[in-house]
């Protein structure tokens, strides 16, 4: 039994060995939820140990769980899912340094703690400080420990708010984020590609200029639905101009950065 003190709620790990096998039933209490499963150890060549296991996170409050590991979470909310883990090394420290996890996760509701998606959309990325309430968030998270820290990669991500659906991927490493994806507005009536990069607290947002120009024109001519029509036209023109460029003339898709 392991207990991590100084966190609320407490983080506990209980391992129960199955007879004489190198296999343990695993019961974890973290972030007000659980992550029960099993672990198995196998001996390899030259004294190397190989650890593998499966866990089933249930209703784990992510911000609280990461705070217990001295990490700052960009998301608050309770997650459930399935985790597969593996590690190898000649000592417990080596096992922890090589730990690799793959998790399919589901949030029934969540909050982006330091990014206001609606404000980012309405200002073309100029302003995005704040919070965003999400109706749901799903995806796959891959974490890899190493000597330089932990690299986290999220793929197959899908987040939904009342007005927007976001799909994409992201990588977080050393406090920086690199992300790209698509914003689907009004039930998919318009799709806007985007990229996001920089420090977790102050990332820069970039979208193709044709979409912003078209949206601005549409708003000026016909507010509301004009924004959607204008953005679609702007996006189409952006594609036509780039696809129609002559092969011997170098072209570069540039984004608008703020």
The burial of 174, by beta-carbon neighbours within 10 Å (0-12 exposed, 13-18 middle, 19 or more buried), is given as: exposed
For residue 116, the model assigns a pLDDT of 83
Task: Give me the pLDDT at residue 126, please.
Answer: 74
Domain membership of residue 223 (yes or no) is yes
Classify 139 in phi/psi space as left (phi over 0), alpha (psi -120 to 50) or beta: left
Q: What is the pTM of this model?
A: 0.75
Q: Region 135-148: what's the mean pLDDT?
A: 92
Rg (CA), the chain: 23
From CA 167, how far away is CA 258, in angstroms rounded?
22
Residue 225: pLDDT band with limits 50, 70, 90:
very low
Q: Give the DSSP letter of residue 45.
A: G
Beta bridge partners of 177: 172, 198
Asked whether residue 46 is assigned to any structural domain, the reply reads no
Domain annotation covers residue 8: no
State the Cα–Cα distance between residues 10 and 8, nearest whole angstrom: 5
Range of the domain at 232: 208-248
**235 is a domain residue:** yes
- Position 213 in a domain: yes
Say how far apart CA 50 and CA 89 lie, in whole Å. Answer: 7
* Long-range CB contacts (within 8 A, 24+) of 226-229: 228/185, 228/186, 228/189, 228/190
CA atoms within 13 A on the CB side of 230: 17
Exposed / middle / buried, residue 21 (Cβ in 10 Å: 0-12, 13-18, 19+): exposed
The pLDDT tens digits of the residues spanning 78-123 come to: 999 999 999 999 998 899 899 999 999 999 999 988 888 877 777 7
Q: Is 224 domain-assigned?
A: yes
Domain-located, residue 229: yes
- Please tell me the predicted confidence (pLDDT) of residue 250: 42
Chain mean pLDDT for the chain: 80
Does 158 reside within a domain? no
**Torsion, CA 204, CA 186, CA 254, CA 173, rounded to 10:** 40
Q: How many domains does the chain have?
A: 1
CB 71, CB 98: distance < 8 Å:
no
């Amino acid at each position: 039994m392991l207990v991590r003190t100084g966190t609320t709620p407490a983080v506990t790990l209980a391992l129960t060995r199955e007879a004489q096998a190198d296999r343990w039933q695993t019961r974890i209490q973290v972030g007000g939820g659980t992550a029960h499963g099993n672990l198995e150890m196998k001996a390899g060549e030259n004294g190397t140990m190989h650890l593998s296991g499966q866990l089933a996170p249930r209703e784990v409050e992510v911000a609280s769980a990461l705070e217990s590991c001295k990490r700052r979470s960009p998301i608050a909310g309770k997650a459930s899912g399935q985790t597969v883990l593996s590690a190898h090394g000649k000592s417990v420290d080596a096992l922890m340094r090589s730990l690799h996890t793959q998790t399919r996760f589901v949030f029934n509701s969540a909050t982006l703690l330091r990014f206001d998606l609606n404000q980012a959309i309405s200002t073309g990325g100029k302003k995005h400080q704040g919070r965003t309430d999400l109706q749901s968030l799903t995806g796959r998270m891959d974490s890899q420990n190493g000597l330089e820290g932990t690299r986290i990669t999220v793929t197959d991500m899908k987040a939904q708010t009342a007005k927007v659906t976001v799909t994409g991927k992201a990588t977080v490493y050393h406090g920086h984020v690199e992300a790209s994806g698509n914003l689907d507005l009004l039930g998919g009536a318009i799709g806007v590609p985007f990229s996001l990069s920089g420090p977790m607290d102050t990332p820069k947002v970039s979208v193709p200029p044709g979409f912003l120009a078209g949206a601005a024109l549409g708003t000026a001519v016909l507010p509301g639905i004009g924004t959607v029509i204008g953005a679609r036209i702007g996006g189409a023109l952006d594609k036509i101009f780039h696809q129609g460029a002559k092969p011997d003339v170098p072209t570069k898709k540039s984004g608008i950065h703020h």
